[in-house]
Structure 1
Amino acid sequence: MVIQTIADVAAAFLGLWILLYLLQANHANVFVGFVADVADALAWWSQDIFTTHTENLRVLLDYGLPAVIYLAVGHGVAIRLRRF
């Protein structure tokens, strides 16, 4: 289903950005910059919801929450549409 695939791709970008950030990828790299820009666009609404003392935990929460929500909503809608 298209909705499920879109949700999966969005969550994959967010998860990839979390991984690249935690592994301290080079932000000057074009690919890393692209992933960061896409992740920022997908997670604009959840930025700075959590205030933590460690930056790694903040990134994990700020980008992980939208990833989980996109997966849950996307798969939920796809399941609901399949029943019709």
Structure 2
Amino acid sequence: MEKSIYSRRYSLFAQLLRAAREEAGFTQEEVAARLETTQTFISKCERGERRLDVVELCSWCEALGIPAGEFVAELEKKL
């Protein structure tokens, strides 16, 4: 199983992170504040430069106000 941040699958994941944020109407700065992190961290995640684990993804989804299961279901459709 490929775990690279450079895989096609991870690229789709990162694109979906950004799309979910934009659809929720948040800036990177607003999501960073909700997650108590930096805008740079958010940017790196959305560009696929930084991997997220499941716990981080759940926090990200919570910050956006979307169920993590909904995010994963959308990802599965795109894969």
Fold match (TM-score > 0.5): no
TM-score (norm 1): 0.33
Higher CA-based Rg: 1
If asked which structure has higher relative contact order (CA below 8 Å, sep 6+), I would say 1
